[in-house]
C-alpha cells in the first residue's frame, strides 16, 4: 500500500500577510520531502434565489479561479527566483481552489475533504491579537480544524510595554561564536537561577533514559 502524500492547505486573501503564509506553504511543500499543496481563496457565499445558477455567477466563478491560478503561478516564480542559488524541488502537486463560502469554514472544509495534514494561514502583525479576539479567519480556522494549523505573521519589533522582552543581541552573538553558552555575561547570572537547561548534543538511549 502506497503511503499517503503529505498534504498542505494554504488560505489566501491576496493580502501581504497571506502572501507570507503562501511562501511558508511553498517552503514546507518543497525540498527532498516534497508535499502536495492546495491554495484556497474563498469568496463570499452566493445568494441564489432559484435552483439554477445564473450564467453571470458561473462567469464570476471562472474569473475568480483563473485569477487565483495566475497569482499562485506568479508567486511560485518569485519564490523560486529568489532561491535560485539553492536547489529547490517543487511541490509534488499544486492545486488552486476558489469556492464561494464563509472564509474560515471554506478553508477547513477543503482541508477535511482532502484529509490534509496541515493548514497554513496568515494574520496581521500589529493587530494579530485583536483579530483573534474579534473572530478573525485565523481564529475560526483554529477552532474548526481537525488537523494542525500554522498561523504565519510577520516578525515585529517588541514594544516597551510588552510582557515579552526583545532578544538580547549579545546573547545571540555568543551563541554564534561559542559552543555551549546560551547567555551573555549579563544574563548568565539571572537566567542561570531561573532557567534550567540541559544540552542534547548527542541524542542516545543513555542520554534520554
Is the same domain home to 196 and 118? no
> Structurally, how many domains does the chain consist of?
2
Q: Are residues 177 and 97 in the same domain?
A: no
Q: What is the C-alpha to C-alpha distance for residues 117 and 138, in angstroms, rounded to an integer?
A: 17
* Chain centre to alpha carbon of residue 9: 9
Q: Is the pLDDT of residue 25 over 70?
A: yes
Provide the residue range defining the domain that includes 171.
166-200
Q: Report the chain's terminal Cα–Cα distance, integer Å.
A: 35
Per-residue model confidence (pLDDT) at position 159: 64
Cell of 161: 510595554
The pLDDT assigned to 112 comes to: 97
In the predicted structure, residue 2 carries a pLDDT above the cut 70:
no
Its pTM surpasses 0.75: yes
46 lies in the same domain as 94 = yes
Q: What pLDDT is stored for residue 142 in this prediction?
A: 93
Rounded-to-10 torsion of CA 26, 27, 28, 33: 100
77 and 173 inside one domain = no
CATH number, domain containing residue 14: 3.40.50.620
Q: Say whether both 131 and 175 belong to one domain.
A: no
- C-alpha cell of residue 153: 505573521
Residues 187 and 89 in one domain: no
Burial 80-92 (b: 16+ CB within 10 A, else e): eeeeeeeebeebe
37 closest CA partner among 59, 60, 5 = 5
pLDDT of residue 120: 97
Measured N-to-C along each axis, helices 185-194 and 169-177 cross at an angle, to the nearest 10 degrees, of: 90
DSSP 149: E
| Stronger pLDDT, 199 or 207, i.e. the higher one | 199
Selected residue with higher pLDDT from 56 and 120: 120
pLDDT tens column, 47-86: 666 567 678 777 888 898 999 999 999 999 999 888 877 7
Amino acid at each position: 500500500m502506497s503511503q499517503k502524500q503529505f498534504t498542505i492547505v494554504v488560505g489566501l486573501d491576496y493580502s501581504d500577510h497571506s502572501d507570507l503564509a503562501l511562501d511558508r506553504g511553498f517552503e514546507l511543500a518543497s525540498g527532498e520531502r516534497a508535499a502536495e499543496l492546495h491554495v484556497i481563496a474563498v469568496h463570499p457565499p452566493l445568494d441564489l434565489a432559484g435552483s439554477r445558477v445564473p450564467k453571470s455567477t458561473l462567469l464570476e466563478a471562472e474569473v475568480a479561479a483563473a485569477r487565483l491560478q495566475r497569482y499562485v503561478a506568479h508567486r511560485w516564480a518569485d519564490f523560486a527566483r529568489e532561491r535560485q542559488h539553492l536547489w529547490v524541488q517543487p511541490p509534488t502537486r499544486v492545486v488552486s481552489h476558489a469556492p464561494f463560502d464563509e472564509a474560515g469554514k471554506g478553508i477547513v472544509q477543503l482541508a477535511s475533504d482532502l484529509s490534509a495534514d496541515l493548514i497554513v494561514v496568515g494574520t496581521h502583525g500589529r493587530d494579530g491579537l485583536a483579530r483573534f479576539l474579534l473572530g478573525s479567519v485565523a481564529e475560526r480556522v483554529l477552532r474548526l480544524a481537525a488537523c494542525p494549523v500554522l498561523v504565519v505573521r510577520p516578525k515585529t519589533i517588541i514594544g516597551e510595554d510588552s510582557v515579552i522582552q526583545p532578544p538580547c543581541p549579545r546573547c545571540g552573538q555568543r551563541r554564534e561564536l561559542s559552543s555551549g553558552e546560551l547567555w551573555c555575561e549579563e544574563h548568565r547570572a539571572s537566567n542561570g537561577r531561573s532557567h534550567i537547561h540541559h544540552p542534547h548534543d548527542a541524542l542516545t538511549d543513555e542520554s534520554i533514559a
